Amino acid sequence: MKDQIEATQTEALARIEAVADIRSLEDARVGILGKQGSLTKLSAGMRDVPKEEKAEVGQLLNAARQAITGALEGKKEALQSEADAKALAGIDLTLPARSLHTGSLHPLTLIRDEAVGILRRMGFALADGPEIEDEFHCFDALNTPADHPARNEKDTFYFDSGKLLRTHTSSVQVRTMEAEAPPIRIIAPGSAYRRDEIDATHLSVFNQLEGLYVDTDVSLGDLKGTLEYFFHELFGSATEVRFRPHFFPFTEPSFEIDVKLHAKGQAPKWIEVAGCGMVDPAVFDAIGASRNDDAYSPEKVTGFAFGMGLDRLAMIRWGIKDIRLLIENDTRFLKQFA
């Protein structure tokens, strides 16, 4: 038995040494240590070994198994190192690595997050609402007459059901006032839809950010101070902001807001960025009728509202001349924001 163990070990080590690849090494392992392997069969003969020799023979078997196992592991490492060396052959490790392009948030996401962050610091909470709306929330509650151009199907996307894709996120303001009693101070970023001809400054789907503040004694001064602070934070403290009288059905008085744009190589010019005004009492009356209470009675509360296009803000911030660049997903354009 002792001679058989020594012979089996010598034969096994020689077989392992002669192996040339991983597959052959696995075959050798099974042939030696597997269920029908040479060493395994030899170990089964321990039952026939005289009692006084069992300890010595057992030690020889364990030593043989350890030697064979060690040889298998060493050969495997050697074969793997050889394979790795072949795989790297011809590769110049001194060449600089190829740079990886880093990703970035979309410019519209960047400007939205910054705008929302500024207004959140001023106490405004985020609000949301459906993009498929009804005429009450999109027009009637906002004091928009039936013959207003915005309600024409040439300007608005209507469904056969009579519902429509919201033309502004003002509908979120209406739904918030229906659900919550004053005071409220909310902003509503989101998509809006209009039948505009697509060109360098117009899209049929665009991104709005609207705000509403309703409480007792909200004044025009509050509106002006809020929006001046907002645009100074967004475009810089030296930004010039002006308010021009305008008309919107849902605010009175109403204003359009311009900022003076200083483009390199061009004369400074005013550009419209937002609309705003004090909430029209007719809007509060419509909300009161919907809620069936006087929580929004014009005798009790006042408020202001504002709205701006995030696409336009992005164009101003980064000097983008064609709004279509924001939806074309051209990586040559988008990688500038990485």
More confident residue, 4 or 281: 281
Contacts 24+ apart (CB under 8 A), 252-256: 252/277, 252/278, 252/280, 252/281, 253/220, 253/277, 253/278
The reply, when asked if residue 252 is annotated as ligand binding, is yes
Range of lowest pLDDT (25-29, 128-132, 153-157, 229-233):
25-29
Average pLDDT for residues 320-335, to the nearest whole number? Answer: 90
Domain coordinates in residue numbering, the chain: 2-88, 107-337
Segment 115-128, tens digit of pLDDT: 999 999 999 999 99
Q: Give every CB contact of residue 122 below 8 A, 6+ residues apart in sequence.
A: 226, 229, 230
The predicted structure's pLDDT at residue 1: 66
Average pLDDT for residues 146-169, to the nearest whole number? Answer: 91
CATH number of 107-337: 3.30.930.10
pTM above 0.95, yes or no: no
- Could you give the CA distance from residue 317 to residue 312 in angstroms, rounded to a whole number? 9
| Rg of the chain, C-alpha, whole Å | 39
| DSSP structure class, residue 124 | P
